[in-house]
Amino acid sequence: MQDSERVVAHGHRDTYDRELIGLRQRVVRMGELVATAIDQAVGALARQDREAAAAVVAADREVDAAQAEITARIVTTIATQSPVAIDLRFLMSLTHATYELERIGDHAAGVARQVIKIGDVRHAGGLDELGEMAAAILHGILLALVDLDEAAARRVAAQDDDIDRVYHALFQRTLERMRAEPGWIETGAHVLLAAKDLERIGDRVTNIAEEIVLLATGEEVDLNP
């Protein structure tokens, strides 16, 4: 290869690397939209604010649009750049992370829909705590994504066990109350639906953590065996 060809190839690689960095930044910005949605859904749950919950449901369209834009850019990049294996792995990991974020956005909207229907849950026992934990784990994984921090991703994923523990305890308490108070059965059903959406956020954050480990190290791991 002549020197001029090396300069062109090097310049192309620099441009391509900036494009890959830009895609990751877009995924992070999408994550920020999702984090806002879950924060607002949890806040609406704590306050029983139906108006705020309705706003979360409406805003889910922005998350869907962000995913569609990122996916289109990734497809275009693959089609036009013919990425080598390591770059293709990077792009596919971003695709998977984007999918998980979109689903977390759906779970946030699901919680908000239950807030609209649920009535008084001040004595549901653990639902607010579960919401706060889900919001915290999502914020943690976004920080790990920004830095491609493998160790942080693993630490965040480990917190899913705490979410599962709180969820299962809440589930049992809610069933017991539904059996003891037939008039609370409908409210209890909405509590369980909201709790399941919050619990699933932990699972999807774990999936994102696995993608971060793959991006950072090239190692495929199962962080939720």
Domains annotated for the chain, with CATH where assigned, are: 3-217 (1.20.58.220)
| Lookup result for tokens 């946030």 | 108
Cα dihedral 131/132/137/139 (nearest 10): 110
In whole angstroms, what is the distance from residue 40 CA to residue 130 CA?
14
| Lookup result for tokens 């579960």 | 130
Q: How far is CA 97 from CA 47, 94, 183, 215, in A?
A: 31, 5, 42, 11
Confidence at residue 103, expressed as pLDDT on a 0 to 100 scale? 97
| Lookup result for tokens 């791991």 | 221
Q: Digits of tens for pLDDT over the chain (225 positions)?
A: 444 333 334 456 677 788 888 898 999 999 999 999 999 998 998 888 999 999 999 999 999 999 999 999 999 988 888 888 888 888 999 999 999 999 999 999 999 999 888 866 655 667 888 989 999 999 999 999 988 899 999 999 999 999 999 999 999 999 999 999 998 898 889 999 999 999 999 999 999 999 999 989 988 999 987
Confidence at residue 135, expressed as pLDDT on a 0 to 100 scale? 92
Contact 112, 41 (CB under 8 A): yes
Q: Quick one: which of 111, 135, 141 has its CA closest to 27?
A: 141
Confidence at residue 38, expressed as pLDDT on a 0 to 100 scale? 93
DSSP assignment, residue 162? H
Q: Quick one: which of 75, 61, 58 has its CA closest to 23?
A: 75
149 phi-psi bin (left φ>0, alpha ψ -120 to 50, beta other): beta
CA 159, 162, 166, 171 dihedral sign is positive
